[in-house]
Structure 1
Amino acid sequence: MSSIADNIGSVTRRIQKATLQAGRSPGSVRLLAVSKTRPAEDLREAFAAGQVAFGENYVQEALEKQEALADLPDMEWHFIGPIQSNKTRQIASSFDWVHSVDRLKIARRLNDQRGDTLPPLNICLQVNINEEESKSGCRVDQLPGLVEAVGELPNLRLRGLMAIPDPSQPEAELRASFRKLANTLKALKGDHPDAGPLDTLSMGMSGDLELAIAEGATWVRVGTALFGERPAKS
């Protein structure tokens, strides 16, 4: 049975190979370890193997892990799950990145609740790139207004876009979904040069990270390939 450290090494090599094959600069793609439902001990083991950034979906679970791992101050915490209005205060004060902002109301709450002593919160706007009824995220045509409004919020730093394309698509269609998100970011950056860095594409997971990197991903969100299959819900 592979250790978490072995798995991190394997995934890192996949990322490096895909980055090279895409003709991109080494280090231009970062690994986000999706650690939801995993015990704090697994995150500690991953950190010891060199993994720094961890993505959590559930606020209370994440806060408990942060407390358990408080002796590791260099850990980078990313919130990647759907955001409820009554959770924004905790998210704003306890995370370095939020990948799943999909409406202005949430952005404003995160901005207003980000502590004055903290640096601006890095955020990505989540896009429902395939317009699936079951998925969170805004539509592509809603992005220009949202980008303009979020760019005026001083406690947020708009980094880019996030999407979770339908993984059941044929490979060509999945790749086209990643390309659509990349082209959307490029257009937004040209039209809104002062909105934020707009340098981030959070897309790609364990099974499709190579396709995502080929189309410009800067963060790939990987859970199963690092930590193994999640236990079945009871």
Structure 2
Amino acid sequence: MSSALADRLADVDARIADAARAAGRDLAGITRIVVTKFHPASLVRDLHALGVRDVGENRQQELTAKRDELASLPDLRWHFIGQAQTNKARAVRAAADVVHSVDRSRIADALDAVGSGDPLDVLLQVNLTDDTGRGGVAPAEVEALAAHVAGLASLRVRGVMAVAPLDEDPAHAFERLRRSADVVRTVVPEATWISAGMTGDFPEAIAMGATHLRIGSAITGPRPVRG
């Protein structure tokens, strides 16, 4: 295992603790998800040895392959954070413990239709930009989506997720996300999760109430070059 990986993880965790302290937040209420996109399963194994229990993937095929390869690792929680497609709902549901990217009723219905056993934890992805082509439900429509998903027997609405726009102060964007989170809680009072904040903006996300951070390269290092 690379000592550099341990050093990067420790550095990010220290910065998370500093941001939580500055915001008057309890560190126990913040979950750090390490995004391992394009990295080999061996990196996840190394992270697990360092105490990491929450990892995130953007692509269903990669999520499925890594979960299968690392099935023997105890207490590992897999977060699907990429754009969900209805034709991959069964595979996503089979591999993910949490889906962060439910942004329309069709994908919620598809995930529900293949459900059995315990409910699947899902977050509603909110679009914080003016580009309707970006993933996420419009803030004005988040209440209706929350009501729809809450009515599906095999899904459990946990909260909201968003990515801050590149051309805006992330604090302002995350403040809008927090308002969407408040709206969702009027429908599902226990939906207290806010998935926000990545390598470049997680302190601002923590200040605005984020409970789940999605951090990649600051911990994993540069992504391997894809052929």
**TM-score computed with the length of structure 1 as normaliser:** 0.92
Aligned pairs for 1:126-205 within 5 A: 126-169=125-168, 173-189=169-185, 191-192=186-187, 195=188, 197-205=190-198
Q: Cα distance, 1:163 vs. partner?
A: 0.4
Shift of 1:26: 2.4
Checking the alignment, whether the CA contact within 8 Å between 2:37 and 2:223 is kept in structure 1 is no
Matching residue within 213, 220, 226 for 1:220: 213
Deviation at 1:133, TM superposition (A): 4.2
Mapped contact 1:159–1:196 kept (Cα < 8 A):
no
CA distance in 2, matches of 1:233, 1:44: 21
**Shift in Å, 1:92:** 1.4
Residue 48 of structure 2 corresponds to 47
Q: 1:199 to 1:8 in 2, by over 3 A?
A: same
Stretches (4+) displaced over 6 A = none
Q: Partner of 2:202 in structure 1?
A: 209
SS of the residue 2:27 aligns to: coil
Q: Distance in 2 between matches of 1:134 and 1:208?
A: 23
SS at match of 1:38: coil
List gaps (5 residues or longer) in structure 1.
none
Paired residue secondary structure (1:3): helix
Give the drift of 1:167: 2.7
- Cα distance in 1 for residues equivalent to 2:212 and 2:130: 22
- Tell whether the 8 Å contact from 2:12 to 2:218 is kept in structure 1 after alignment: yes
**CA offsets 1:182-213 (integer angstroms, 9 cap, x no match):** 12211331x31xx3621011000001100110
Number of equivalenced pairs? 226
1:84 is matched with 85
Higher mean C-alpha displacement, 96-105 vs 107-116? 107-116
